A and B are shown apart, each in its own frame.
Chain A
Amino acid sequence: QVQLVQSGAEVRKPGASVKVSCKASGYTFTGHYIHWVRQAPGQGLEWMGWINPNSGDTSSAEKFQGRVTMTTDTSISSAYIELSSLTFDDTAIYYCARDFLGSTWLFDPWGQGTLVTVSS
């Protein structure tokens, strides 16, 4: 079955960077975009961006541009998101999600989430 497994929880200081991984299995990795969505404590879901594993093309929400880097390693069916210049507001659960049918901007399934805590 299609599965996305993310890396474990991270703690960073303000100003630092964090990189979260997402390993896919059960489907052709290059056939579906990967999206990144986060949820801050007590808040709703916020789409961050997508990457096309086939081409490496990316698109990110305006608020993250210049601070987010999305990459993939197709040899191991893994996607990564790196967020730099962290602030306390970046404390959140970060989810990767496969695009439902390729590039439809629907998200299913999702990884289990990675908690990133920014703390001094």
Chain B
Amino acid sequence: EIVLTQSPATLSLSPGERATLSCRASHSVSSSLAWYQHKPGQAPRLLIFDASNRATGSPARFSGSGSGTDFTLTISSLEPEDFAVYYCQQRTNWPFTFGPGTKVDIK
């Protein structure tokens, strides 16, 4: 099973600041890494797939990069609605696994 590690666990930032979230895989997942946003009481939402492709409806301030074992989700300028938990997910190997999440909260 591929284990995904996310850092930091919590990121405290102010609106307008840049957020950089990291996801590291225990084995290479090539570019098959996705990012989801999850707000309390809501369903998770796909933001980025295949490392750098924005899903339909995902704002341009969200960008993804990386390949192999190291990936980054960047939010260029935080909007109030961006404060949430972000999960990475790999789809290279069964079972499909998620990282433990990074909580982006308001400083």
Interface residues of A (CB under 8 A from B): 37, 44-47, 59, 61-62, 95, 97, 100, 104-113
B interface residues, tally (CB under 8 Å): 21
Please measure, in the bound complex, the distance between the C-alpha atom of A61 and the C-alpha atom of B1, giving whole angstroms.
11
B54 to chain A, nearest CB (A): 12
Contact B44 A105 (CB under 8 A): no
Chain A residues lying within 8 Å of B94, measured Cβ to Cβ, are 59
Contact A44 B91 (CB under 8 A): no
Q: Which stretch in B16-24, B61-69, B74-82, B95-103 binds the other chain?
A: B95-103
Closest Cβ neighbor of A111 among chain B residues: B43
Contact A108 B100 (CB under 8 A): no
Chain B residues lying within 8 Å of A105, measured Cβ to Cβ, are 91, 96
Q: Which of B34, B38, B44 has the most CB of A within 10 A?
A: B44
Contacting residue for A106 out of B38, B91, B95, B97, CB 8 A: B91
Closest Cβ neighbor of A35 among chain B residues: B96
Contact B44 A107 (CB under 8 A): yes
B102 to chain A, nearest CB (A): 10
Q: Is B71 positioned at the interface, with any CB of A under 8 Å from its CB?
A: no
Q: Is B106 positioned at the interface, with any CB of A under 8 Å from its CB?
A: no
Contact B95 A108 (CB under 8 A): no
Closest Cβ neighbor of B91 among chain A residues: A105
Contact A61 B95 (CB under 8 A): yes
Contact B91 A109 (CB under 8 A): no
